[in-house]
Chain A
């Protein structure tokens, strides 16, 4: 779908070949997470995950999840790679499983889960040469990416991980083990950075929230929530307008969270954005992915809000971790891999009526004011610079 350079195209083709091979298929049966084995195939897995994370999380589900996650992560983290090696035979170690384990932590972004899973791939690798290890890593990241092609941050996270981890002089170490440990170090570091990204962004954005301001938020973004929480905790006085966030009512969830923090919240239906825009001082949104043009792909309705904000000269701020930077360049709304999700209208819809089930839209960079990322506060055009520097 996208390439970073001439050689990248070749990689891509190879990847396709790899994916078609049986061994990678071996991995896929394990893919569907246990909790959603029954999900419809046409629903974007990304939104399934989100639903799982953002839906009503019962305490027992959480406990269950923790129980499931705890041991394996502990293992992965603590166990010596040699012991893992001996334990795992051949293909028994599956990135997808690992990924799913990580993914079950509700606070962990999908991409971070993938990054952690990839790190554990290195750890448990039985490769004896650098080349082997790299190939193994590549396969793992490809299978992760193919597990959910609709998740931009997953794909971007995997790619960035590969870039960050493998583009190092470590590969030139003579000794394989030291090279591997160096690689692992980098992988852990990257995971750590990604994990901390939210905090960094929250800190960076504090300067932009002033007392008495009104913030419009759209959808449920953990980064935005973190930003608002940090602001509230530091004693800032502001109020928040939450859109309803149909169809999965993410706005309702966010308003719940905010109410818990004693932040004044007002709920709007999605179509009331323009109506209330004149009261708004800034728009804060998260992003599913930040694309190369500097625009963002985010939950359906973001584009609309950005347009309204632009026409009323309100700043639109995007909070997004840098692992969401994707080498995508949509030209328009249809120029994306569609992510679908069912919409419940509450009444039966005649079969002749077509329903737009796309879950997200693309907001071009000219409608965005600033991006808050863990790389700093960026204008949209810097995204491409960062991507070019990362990938080329």
Chain B
């Protein structure tokens, strides 16, 4: 970790300098700033560079203004509450943006994270050059420390000098502000407020498009008000809350980006979550309240790390406010969030069926083409689902399939015909690519089970389960070793079902895999995806099992439907992954004597990493069993190449 961190920090300075000059950049930095209070400082660094690069516009104005403000005065003001710190990532970032002075953000960083010498130095420079800006930020952040989350919102508005400049600067700045405004709103405001905001925003959107000229003035006005608020409230953070919601809608209306943005951004499966601007954009749109985790794991900053547990309740409460999301989609999203649906196939099927429901109820709005409009609809559903839980690769492929089907619809079709075609296409996809594929896989794989075999499986894979049951039905004599691991313990369910069918099983945890492996003759694993280089992307722990099996020279067979094949290549488990709820590994129900991590979010030097997937190198895989037969891992690209067409039915 440390080694990696250091280079990053070093690299940051360059970026920062760039960002420093550009006014847009600062917000990002500020972003990074907030998480700080303790250990989070390193992540900040990552975030900031990206932000800097993206924001192009304003350069000098903030300095003057910032200079005016005395540092000392701000500092004492508002302490950040821990809550705030958690939420803050977005908030903090936003705030700085408003301020428009990069220095401020850096300053805060310095103050917050003493550990990072490099940064400090940079920040120091900046600070010196732009004393005023730095002051504001720093003061805000520091204030934030003790204060409640509410304060952040107020802060956003505060810098008076900036506001003036911003108005001059123009659209970009405004955008930033809008983001800021929206985010804080979401995070800090009550539900009612948020709702109000959303509605206001929607209404505003249309207006915003119409008049671009108005926006700057409006924004500036808002800002000024905000500043005023801040000054007043700097000591009393709570008041800001109220002010913020009001301000936010106004801002939004002014700079709201057109729908195009939405289309472009939404479905990208691999958003880099240390890319602040994108995150912000996404946040604006998001329906689910997502609170970034406090102690984010440094190495995985680019992945979404949210507080778990709060989102479900939040989303449930919004049940009746989500007019753009179809109820079926909403239901599925909730179930993803709650963890009721897990497993690549189950999730994919649930998603497709939800889409079917929504297509059934779909009617083309007047003056719109079905192809276009439905695609945007689906996109918005997908982005909703992503917010509930990041898409699996299989789902991504299924969505791609659906979209190509929509795009290929002949224009001449009537709406009802088109809908019927789509519905049957989805049905066909589910049947052929998932259900039938599993059957074929089972048929292939069962030939590899002979009497007397001891089969090892890890976790719970639907394909492997089908296989084992089928082999049992065929009367093959074999034994199963179910290897499981915390925290999900999915293997227990599999175990229960297998034992229920009369298969003799051994249940063990992954800790014992090296012991149990010597009696095993075959290892059957499921996969979330198989990548083009043969890498198997699957439940975390799979790689260890495969590695041990390989070491024991035991064949490792991976059962994976071909629709999960992915043309990308991944060399490690880091660049794309999903992070689970850290609480799941921090707490063990019923074992109070070792549940000493209860307050881990408050511990600065602790980061919990609950990875969901890992990548198994193809060297450890003897065979991949797909609906196209049994192939070596080296042939995955052949299948991808030869059948991508077919997968999409183009």
CB within 8 Å of B: which residues of A? 1-6, 9, 292-294, 327, 329, 331-332, 334-335, 365, 381, 384-385, 388-389, 391-392
Contacts and interface: CB of A to CB of B under 8 A. Distances in A.
Contacts of A388: 628-629, 631, 635, 638-639, 642
Interface in B434-457: 436-437, 439-440, 443-444, 447-448, 450
B557 interface: yes
Contacts of A3: 440, 443-444, 629
B630 interface: yes
B622 interface: yes
A292 B444 contact: no
A282 to B, nearest CB: 23
Interface-centre pick from B447, B450, B628 (highest chain A CB count, 10 A)? B628
A151 to B, nearest CB: 19
Interface string B411-450: 0000000000000000000000000110110011001101
Contacts of A365: 632
Contact of B627 (A6, A332, A389): A6
A335 B522 CA distance: 11
9 contacts: A3-B443, A6-B436, A6-B627, A331-B557, A331-B622, A331-B623, A381-B632, A384-B632, A389-B638
A9 B623 contact: no
Interface in B603-650: 622-623, 627-632, 634-635, 638-639, 642-643
A12 B623 CA distance: 22
Interface of B: 436-437, 439-440, 443-444, 447-448, 450, 522, 555, 557, 622-623, 627-632, 634-635, 638-639, 642-643
A328 B223 CA distance: 71
A112 B634 CA distance: 30
Given A3-B444, A392-B642, A381 B635 contact: yes
Interface-centre pick from B629, B634, B642 (highest chain A CB count, 10 A)? B629
Contacts of A384: 631-632, 634-635, 638
Contacts of B440: 3, 5-6, 9
A298 B632 CA distance: 20
Interface-centre pick from A1, A332, A384 (highest chain B CB count, 10 A)? A384
Contacts of B623: 293, 329, 331
A385 B634 CA distance: 9
B639 to A, nearest CB: 7
Nearest to B636: A384
A146 to B, nearest CB: 18
Given A6-B436, A293-B623, A392 B629 contact: yes
Contacts of B436: 6
A389 B642 contact: yes
B447 A1 contact: yes
A294 to B, nearest CB: 7
A57 to B, nearest CB: 39
A-B pairs, top 4 by smallest CB distance, nearest first, are A381-B634, A384-B635, A331-B555, A329-B630
Contacts, number: 71
A4 B629 contact: yes
Interface-centre pick from A4, A9, A331, A334 (highest chain B CB count, 10 A)? A331
Contacts of A1: 447
Nearest to A384: B635
Contacts of B622: 293, 331
Contacts of A292: 629-632
B477 to A, nearest CB: 16
Contacts of A335: 448, 450
Contacts of A332: 555
Contacts of A329: 623, 630-632
- The DSSP consensus for interface residues of chain A is loop
Interface-centre pick from B437, B440, B448, B638 (highest chain A CB count, 10 A)? B638
A392 B628 CA distance: 7
Contact of A385 (B555, B628, B638): B638
A334 B452 CA distance: 13
B453 to A, nearest CB: 11
A189 B622 CA distance: 36
Nearest to A329: B630
A2 B642 contact: no
Interface-centre pick from A2, A5, A293 (highest chain B CB count, 10 A)? A293
Nearest to B555: A331
A313 to B, nearest CB: 19
Given A329-B630, A384-B632, A2 B447 contact: yes
Contacts of A381: 632, 634-635
A385 B635 contact: yes
Contacts of A6: 436-437, 439-440, 627
A289 to B, nearest CB: 15
Contacts of A385: 635, 638
A330 B629 CA distance: 13
Contacts of A392: 628-629, 642-643
A128 B238 CA distance: 91
Contacts of A389: 638, 642
A293 B443 CA distance: 19
A384 B642 CA distance: 13
Given A292-B629, A331-B623, A385-B638, 16 more contacts: A4-B629, A5-B628, A5-B629, A6-B436, A6-B437, A9-B443, A329-B623, A329-B631, A331-B622, A332-B555, A334-B450, A335-B450, A384-B632, A385-B635, A388-B635, A388-B639
B333 to A, nearest CB: 33
A381 B447 CA distance: 22
Contacts of B638: 384-385, 388-389
A4 B555 CA distance: 21
Nearest to B557: A331
Nearest to B619: A366
Nearest to B439: A6
A6 B440 CA distance: 6
A9 B630 CA distance: 13
A3 B444 CA distance: 7
A133 B576 CA distance: 53
A306 B544 CA distance: 29
A389 B637 CA distance: 12
Nearest to B623: A329
B448 A331 contact: yes
A294 B448 contact: no
A311 B590 CA distance: 53
A126 B631 CA distance: 39
A294 B633 CA distance: 11
B283 to A, nearest CB: 44
Contacts of A293: 622-623, 632
Contacts of A334: 450
Contacts of B450: 334-335
Contacts of B639: 388
Interface-centre pick from A2, A5, A329, A334 (highest chain B CB count, 10 A)? A329
Contacts of B628: 4-5, 388, 392
A294 B632 CA distance: 8
A381 B444 CA distance: 20
Contacts of A9: 440, 443
A391 B628 CA distance: 9
B618 to A, nearest CB: 10
A303 to B, nearest CB: 13
A331 B522 CA distance: 9
B519 to A, nearest CB: 16
Nearest to A8: B629
